[in-house]
Amino acid sequence: MTGLIEIEGVTHAYPTAAGPLPVLENLQISVPENEFAAVVGPSGCGKSTLTRLVAGLLLPDEGGVRLHGEWVRSPRSTVGMAFQNPVLLEWRTILDNVILPLEIVAPRMGRRERVDRAMQLLEMVGLKGFEAKRPSELSGGMRQRASLCRAIVHKPEVLILDEPFGALDAFTREDLWQTLRNLRQEEPFTTLLITHDLRESVFLGDQVFVLSGRPAHTQYVLDVDLPDDRDIEILYDTRSVEMLAILREQIRIAQGRSTAEQAVNA
In angstroms, rounded to a whole number, what is the distance separating the alpha carbons of residues 247 and 251?
A: 6
Give whichever of 14 and 71 is closer to ligand ATP, judged by the CB atom: 14
Three-state SS letters, 140-160: HHHHHHHHHHHHHCCCCCEEE
Give whichever of 51 and 93 is closer to ligand ATP, judged by the CB atom: 51
Q: Is 127 helix (H, G, I), strand (E, B) or coil?
A: coil
Q: Is 45 helix (H, G, I), strand (E, B) or coil?
A: coil
For helices 111-124 and 140-152, angle between their N-to-C axes, nearest 10 degrees = 130
CB of 164 to ligand ATP, least distance (A): 13
CB of 171 to ligand ATP, least distance (A): 23
In angstroms, rounded to a whole number, what is the distance separating the alpha carbons of residues 249 and 243?
A: 10
Give whichever of 49 and 97 is closer to ligand ATP, judged by the CB atom: 49
CB of 42 to ligand ATP, least distance (A): 7
Per DSSP, what are the bridge partners of residue 16?
A: 19
CB of 21 to ligand ATP, least distance (A): 5
Longest CA–CA span in the chain (Å) reads 61
Residues within the interface to ligand ATP (CB under 6 A):
14, 16, 21, 23, 43-49
CB of 97 to ligand ATP, least distance (A): 25
Give whichever of 48 and 120 is closer to ligand ATP, judged by the CB atom: 48
* Residue 72 DSSP class: P
**231 sits in which H/E element:** none
Give whichever of 26 and 48 is closer to ligand ATP, judged by the CB atom: 48
Give whichever of 121 and 254 is closer to ligand ATP, judged by the CB atom: 254
CB of 79 to ligand ATP, least distance (A): 17
Report the C-alpha dihedral over residues 161, 89, 136, 176, rounded to 10 degrees.
Answer: -20
CB of 9 to ligand ATP, least distance (A): 18
Give whichever of 27 and 149 is closer to ligand ATP, judged by the CB atom: 27
Contact by Cβ (8 Å): 194, 29: no
**How many H helices and E strands in the chain?**
8, 10
Q: Please report, for residues 23, 47, 96, 132, 195, the alpha-carbon distance to residue 58 in angstroms, rounded to integers and kept in the order given.
A: 13, 13, 29, 36, 20
